[in-house]
């Protein structure tokens, strides 16, 4: 922090990302409540523990290699260059721990932007950046969780959570979210608030798992007609989704860089232009995203209420689908555009969910593939048309890539299909072949909580027998 303004910028940014973490934590509180509300009583503890234990597993793996992938893989590698040196993100780096400043690794080898603020940029900010991205990782894994409830083995889910949470999603972030990512610089890919980078990939991943996993027992009648397995507690589902909305607000906050001198970033010497930027370091305002987050949420809720004829579960889910659809371009849309795009995406996601369920006998209990996958994919394609010709890259790039429909469509296919569906399908097939993916039918019928409840009952009987034996020894019982 070589200057006063540099010090203020670094410390403000440090607190900014620090605050996003508890906000995004609400997403996971919401997911737990939502999935417990959507599952039957006999599976509640299994559902909660499945969601809880993904957190430490993804956190540890993200520390060891996930964070490094984001900085090392923006070139593919092998598409526009090799692996990028990423001294700030290897687990043995002094920056991956408590640090109050000092020399540290050379900035040029750690990352380009921030160099003008002195060495303390990464010394101070590496941990809070890491935490914000880690919460994105949890979110990607939690989205998959809802689609697999009531029949997946917990170990299989945790393996899959690490694959997406510390593997495939962070590769797509390096490609499509890093300001130097090859999809950004070559395709003009634009996805400011993660329609594809988080949601389309997680939805595609969930679809790849449940295609192999199969439907819950009783979901389809012998003639193939789908049955409704209604949510256990719609009040809990409602509160869960409201908490996800709140957490999603923090998610949006974490997708911005709060303050950068864009004049320096663009190489314009002597020009001072402080602004907030998107994750691509393109200028934006927090005012713009406040308008568009709330307008797209409203568009989704209204459309969901209409197409579902007032059904509560899908009305609330459609609100989420509305935000996800508009997220790719919510830094640049007019608020009325955001509202209409949110409404279109929510309606399409609802219709696609039931069409796929009937046509392919796919059982997605919470509609995760529709709300996140289909809505995210549609949002990317719409963004290509609505923002056609708008610059996609930051000012420091010599060649400006522009947003196009074909670039966005290619990006949607990569997110949903190549990095989402395909690896999930392959890993699930391997787990299924090893007998590790799905619980036995008997366990599914009596409930996945039963094994824990039987163990607790046996413990209680053993303690009771010990008490009786001691009472007899003391002569209190005959």
Query: What pLDDT is stored for residue 219 in this prediction?
Result: 94
- Per DSSP, the residues of 391-410 read B-S-TT-SS--B--HHHHHH
Cα separations (Å) of 10 from 7, 59, 101, 111, 121? 5, 25, 11, 15, 6
Query: What pLDDT is stored for residue 452 in this prediction?
Result: 59
Tally Cβ neighbours within 10 Å of residue 343: 26
Position 445 pLDDT exceeds 60: yes
Position 111 pLDDT exceeds 80: no
Give mean pLDDT, residues 20-48: 92
Which residues are within 8 A (CB) of 463 and not within 5 positions of it... i.e. 6 or more apart? none
Strand ranges for 200-273 from DSSP E = 256-261
Q: Which of 203-212, 431-440, 463-472 has the lowest mean pLDDT?
A: 463-472
Give mean pLDDT, residues 450-455: 65
Query: What pLDDT is stored for residue 198 in this prediction?
Result: 96
Q: Which has the closest alpha carbon to 232: 326, 365, 343?
A: 365
Half-sphere exposure of 351 (CA within 13 A, CB side): 10
- With a pLDDT cut of 90, the percent of the chain lying above it is 69
Query: What pLDDT is stored for residue 106 in this prediction?
Result: 46
Query: What pLDDT is stored for residue 184 in this prediction?
Result: 95
At 464, the pLDDT band (50, 70, 90 cuts) reads confident
Q: Which has the closest alpha carbon to 283: 326, 335, 332?
A: 332
Tell me the torsion sign for CA atoms 256, 257, 259, 262: negative
Distance, CA of 462 to CA of 446 (rounded, Å): 24
At 274, the pLDDT band (50, 70, 90 cuts) reads confident
Distance, CA of 424 to CA of 152 (rounded, Å): 14
> 440: burial class by Cβ within 10 Å (0-12, 13-18, 19+)?
exposed
Query: What pLDDT is stored for residue 457 in this prediction?
Result: 64
Distance, CA of 107 to CA of 109 (rounded, Å): 5
Distance, CA of 198 to CA of 204 (rounded, Å): 10
Q: What is the pTM of this model?
A: 0.91
At 6, the pLDDT band (50, 70, 90 cuts) reads confident
Position 147 pLDDT exceeds 50: yes
At 17, the pLDDT band (50, 70, 90 cuts) reads very high
* Ramachandran angles phi, psi of 365, nearest 5°: -60, -30
Query: What pLDDT is stored for residue 114 in this prediction?
Result: 54
């Amino acid at each position: 922090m070589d200057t006063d303004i540099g010090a203020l910028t670094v410390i403000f940014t440090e607190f900014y990302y620090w605050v996003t973490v508890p906000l995004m934590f609400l997403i996971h509180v919401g997911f737990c409540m939502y999935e417990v509300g959507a599952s039957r009583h006999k599976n509640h503890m299994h559902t909660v523990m499945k969601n809880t234990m993904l957190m430490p597993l993804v956190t540890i793996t993200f520390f060891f290699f996930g964070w490094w992938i984001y900085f090392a893989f923006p070139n593919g590698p092998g598409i526009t260059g090799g692996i990028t040196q990423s001294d700030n993100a290897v687990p043995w780096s002094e920056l991956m721990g408590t640090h109050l400043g000092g020399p540290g690794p050379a900035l040029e080898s750690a990352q380009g932007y921030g160099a003008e603020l002195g060495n303390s940029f990464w010394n101070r900010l590496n941990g809070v950046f890491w935490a914000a991205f880690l919460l994105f990782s949890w979110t990607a894994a939690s989205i998959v969780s809802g689609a697999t409830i009531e029949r997946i083995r917990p170990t299989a889910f945790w393996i899959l959570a690490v694959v997406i949470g510390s593997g495939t999603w962070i590769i797509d972030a390096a490609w499509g979210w890093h300001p130097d990512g090859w999809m950004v610089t070559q395709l003009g890919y634009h996805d400011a608030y993660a329609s594809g980078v988080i949601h389309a990939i997680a939805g595609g991943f969930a679809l790849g798992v449940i295609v192999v996993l199969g439907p819950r027992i009783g979901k389809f009648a012998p003639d193939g007609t789908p049955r409704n397995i209604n949510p256990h507690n719609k009040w809990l589902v409602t509160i869960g989704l409201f908490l996800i909305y709140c957490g999603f607000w923090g998610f949006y906050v974490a997708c911005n860089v709060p303050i950068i001198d864009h004049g320096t970033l663009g190489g314009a010497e002597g020009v001072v232009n402080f602004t907030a930027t998107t994750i691509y370091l393109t200028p934006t305002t927090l005012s713009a995203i406040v308008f568009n987050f709330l307008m797209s949420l409203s568009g989704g809720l209204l459309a969901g209420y209409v197409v579902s004829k007032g059904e509560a579960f899908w009305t609330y889910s459609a609100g989420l689908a509305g935000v996800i659809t508009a997220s790719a371009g919510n830094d640049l849309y007019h608020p009325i555009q955001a509202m209409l795009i949110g409404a279109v995406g929510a309606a399409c996601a609802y219709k696609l969910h039931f069409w796929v369920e009937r046509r392919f006998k796919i059982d997605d209990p919470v509609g995760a593939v529709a709300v996140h996958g289909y809505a995210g994919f549609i949002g990317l394609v719409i963004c290509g048309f609505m923002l056609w010709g708008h610059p996609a890259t930051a000012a420091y790039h010599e060649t400006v890539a522009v947003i196009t429909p074909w670039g966005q469509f290619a990006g949607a296919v990569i997110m949903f299909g190549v990095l989402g569906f395909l690896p999930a399908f392959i890993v699930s097939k391997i787990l299924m072949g090893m007998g590790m993916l799905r619980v036995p039918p008997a366990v599914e019928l009596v409930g996945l909580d039963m094994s824990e409840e039987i163990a607790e009952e046996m413990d209680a009987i053993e303690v009771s027998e010990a008490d009786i034996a001691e009472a007899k020894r003391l002569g209190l019982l005959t």
